[in-house]
Amino acid sequence: MHERQKRLRIEKQIEQMKREDDQLEKEEQELAKEGEQIENEIEQLRRENARLKTLLACVDQLCFPPESSSIPPQSTEPDCGPSSP
C-alpha cells in the first residue's frame, strides 16, 4: 500500500508540474505579444518624434530666421512675424 501512495503522490506532482508548465508557456506567449506591441509602439513614437522634430525645425525657420537674412519670410500666422513696436 505504501508504494501505491508514493506512486499516486508522484503522479499528482507530475500533473501539477504539467499544469505549471502550461501556465508558464501561456505567460511566455503573452509576454512575447506584449514585447511585439511595445516594439511597435516604440517605432511609432520614433516616427512621431521625427515628424515633430521636422515641424519644430520648420517653426524655428519661419519664426526665428537667421540674422543674416535681409528679408524676413512672409508669415501667415500673426505670432510668427517680427515684433512691431
Assigned C-alpha cell, 30: 503573452
The model's pTM:
0.55
* Confidence label for 67 from pLDDT (cuts 50, 70 and 90): confident
First to last CA, the chain: 103
Q: What is the pLDDT of residue 6?
A: 94
Least confident of 2-6, 7-11, 22-26, 35-39: 2-6
What is the structure's pLDDT at 10?
A: 97
One DSSP character per residue, 16-62 reads HHHHHHHHHHHHHHHHHHHHHHHHHHHHHHHHHHHHHHHHHHHHHHH
pLDDT above 70 covers a percentage of the chain that reads 79
Average pLDDT of span 53-71:
83
Domain ranges of the chain: 1-59
